[in-house]
Amino acid sequence: QRLINNMHKLFEDVVIEPCLLHGDLWSGNISSDKNGEPVILDPACY
């Protein structure tokens, strides 16, 4: 309860900026091309 009551203090000087977020990044999204270079499949940025 003490944390909840004081949590706003943690964000007093925080500047919120938009950014891309991947909602489904897991090992099934990782593969490699014919040269062995890593690639990420289905990035689905939100």
The pTM of the full predicted model, rounded to 2 decimals, is 0.39
Q: Which residues span the domain enclosing 25?
A: 16-46
Determine the pLDDT at residue 43: 66
Per the domain annotation, does 7 fall within a domain? no
State the Cα–Cα distance between residues 10 and 5, nearest whole angstrom: 11
Per the domain annotation, does 1 fall within a domain? no
Number of independent structural domains in the chain: 1
Tell me the catalytic residues: 24
Tell me the pLDDT of the chain (46 aa) as tens digits.
Answer: 999 999 999 999 999 888 777 667 788 888 999 999 998 887 666 6
Strands 30-32 and 38-40, by their bridges, are: antiparallel
For the chain, what is the HEC assignment?
CHHHHHHHHHHCCCCCCCCCCECCCCHHHEEECCCCCEEECCCCEC
Per the domain annotation, does 33 fall within a domain? yes
Do 23 and 44 form a contact (C-beta atoms < 8 A)?
A: yes
Residues 6+ apart with CB under 8 A from 26: none
